[in-house]
């Protein structure tokens, strides 16, 4: 049965949800407070990452975080603040950062990433799209033996999970990436991963949805949500009121603010990430993560992107030049011939990634609202999990058996 579905949020998660809901025969409206041409869906590394099966909340991350808190150039920065939601999230993050909980989440994270990759490849092969997509794998590049050993431990765990993983010497890396002139000791290589050019895909998807009848309300802010008998009866924006059969909350880092309007608590903190684009030849052909610096490198369609940092400091889009400089410096330290110019750094952009305390997204319905489906909390895997989340959301709303077990992603789960 066709339903009228309103999606709050026009990022990668919202657009993919709209696509699969449309395919299932529903009538779709997307509301977004922005012009839908910036933010996390446009500035990310464009990775499809089955290799990223270890959650953000890992044992030891709290200790590292405290150390990094005093280093403005650090890859992971948490700004301490007296905010009740931040303090509750921090406590939940600490409770999630155990070996047992990380181990229990590995299969769920790996499976949803593989599912998403298959769906991206299905879209690529369809006649509807012509976006940039390459499966060249991912190099986890390291400069020190200690980090190399840590990465290989993760790599061996990946092999146990059925992924193709190799531990490469610097010479072997050069055979794969002959002209990039990497200054490293070695790399752990995952053949499972792919990459894309995010802004190209977003543009194509918006065009497809518009051409197929999806309604867009851009630059429109949701002010309130009316609920009657555990069901959303009306969405009130700064321009109109909208009635829907079903509502999808895919507003990224803003999702908890909207959830509160209907009495729901969705623990999410905004994790700011930055990107620098280099629109000239770099001779980089394979995506890489520069492990010690936590910088992602992606050869996109017409340029190379350098992205990094996780800055948990509330919702703001202020550019911190020190953190941009740290990304540029790291890139130049790992690639001998690379120079990132002052202008390229001045054109850096940022986006806010919605981070859950346990590194797993929220996908599914809360028991507290019958016609609301939640899709947020994807952290650094938002791009990677876009298609999978969209497909699962559509299956939930269409009352179909879901392709994956959604219990690890339940919005009501306890921390």
Over residues 44-53, the pLDDT tens digits come to 999 999 999 9
CATH number for 378: 3.50.50.60
pLDDT at residue 103 greater than cutoff 90: yes
On whether residue 40 sits in a domain, the answer given is yes
Using alpha carbons, list the distances in angstroms from residue 116 to 35, 288, 330, 350. Answer: 26, 20, 30, 24
Read off the pLDDT of each residue in 233-248 and give the average, rounded to a whole number: 97
More confident residue, 65 or 211: 211
On whether residue 415 sits in a domain, the answer given is no
* pLDDT on residue 12: 98
On whether residue 9 sits in a domain, the answer given is yes
On whether residue 414 sits in a domain, the answer given is no
Identify the band that residue 57 occupies on the pLDDT scale cut at 50, 70 and 90. confident
Classify strands 269-278 and 349-355 as parallel, antiparallel or unpaired.
antiparallel
Q: Calculate the CA 304 to chain-centre distance.
A: 19
Q: Which of 183-197, 264-278, 308-322, 377-391 has the lowest mean pLDDT?
A: 308-322
* pLDDT on residue 58: 80
Count the domains in the chain.
Answer: 1
H helices present in 24-139, as ranges = 40-43, 61-68, 84-96, 99-125
pLDDT at residue 66 greater than cutoff 80: no
* pLDDT on residue 295: 97
* pLDDT on residue 185: 98
Which residue(s) pair with 375 in the sheet?
A: 363
* pLDDT on residue 62: 65
Query: What backbone torsions phi and psi does residue 31 show, to the nearest 5 degrees?
Result: -115, 130
Q: Which domain holds residue 394?
A: 4-409
Of 352, 414, 369, 362, the closest CA to residue 393 belongs to 362
pLDDT at residue 65 greater than cutoff 70: no
* pLDDT on residue 181: 96
* Angle, in degrees to the nearest 10, between helices 198-211 and 12-23: 40
Residues 6+ apart with CB under 8 A from 58: 97, 102
SS3 406: coil
The mean pLDDT value of the chain amounts to 95
* Cut 0.85: pTM above it: yes
pLDDT at residue 151 greater than cutoff 70: yes
Identify the band that residue 59 occupies on the pLDDT scale cut at 50, 70 and 90. confident
Read off the pLDDT of each residue in 67-74 and give the average, rounded to a whole number: 66
């Amino acid at each position: 049965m066709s339903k009228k579905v309103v999606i709050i949020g026009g990022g990668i998660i919202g657009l993919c949800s709209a696509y699969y809901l449309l395919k299932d025969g529903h009538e779709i409206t997307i509301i977004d407070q922005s012009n839908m041409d910036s933010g996390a869906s446009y500035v990310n590394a464009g990775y499809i990452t089955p290799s990223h099966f270890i959650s953000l909340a890992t044992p030891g991350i709290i200790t590292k975080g405290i150390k990094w808190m005093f280093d403005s150039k650090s890859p992971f920065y948490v700004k301490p603040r007296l905010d009740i939601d931040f303090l509750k999230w921090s406590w939940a993050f600490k409770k999630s950062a155990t070996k047992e909980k990380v181990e229990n989440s590995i299969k769920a994270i790996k499976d949803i990433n593989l599912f998403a990759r298959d769906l991206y490849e299905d879209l690529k092969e369809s006649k509807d799209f012509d976006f940039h997509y390459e499966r060249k794998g991912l190099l986890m590049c390291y400069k020190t033996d200690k980090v190399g050993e840590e990465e290989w431990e993760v790599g061996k765990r990946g092999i146990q999970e059925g992924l193709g993983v190799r531990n490469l010497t610097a010479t072997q890396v050069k055979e794969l990436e002959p002209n990039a002139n990497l200054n490293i000791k070695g790399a752990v290589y995952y053949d499972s991963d792919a990459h894309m050019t995010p802004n190209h895909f977003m543009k194509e998807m918006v065009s497809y949805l518009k051409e197929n009848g999806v309604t867009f309300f851009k630059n429109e802010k949701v002010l309130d949500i009316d609920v009657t008998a555990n069901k959303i009866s009306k969405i009130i924006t700064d321009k109109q009121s909208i009635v829907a059969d079903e509502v999808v909350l895919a507003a990224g880092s803003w999702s908890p603010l909207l959830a509160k309007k209907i009495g729901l608590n969705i623990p999410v903190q905004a994790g700011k990430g930055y990107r620098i684009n280099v629109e000239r030849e770099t001779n980089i052909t394979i995506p890489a993560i520069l492990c010690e610096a936590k910088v992602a490198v992606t050869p996109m369609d017409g340029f190379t992107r350098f992205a990094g940092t996780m800055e948990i400091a509330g919702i703001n889009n202020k550019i911190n030049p020190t953190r941009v400089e740290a990304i540029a410096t790291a890139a130049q330290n790992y690639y001998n011939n690379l120079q990132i110019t002052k202008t390229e750094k001045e054109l850096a952009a940022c986006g806010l990634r919605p981070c859950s305390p346990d590194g797993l997204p929220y996908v599914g319905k809360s028991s507290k609202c019958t016609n609301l489906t939640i899709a947020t909390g994807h952290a650094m895997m938002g791009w990677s999990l876009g298609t999978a989340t969209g497909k699962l959301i559509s299956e939930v709303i269409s009352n179909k058996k879901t392709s994956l077990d959604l219990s690890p992603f339940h919005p009501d789960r306890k921390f």
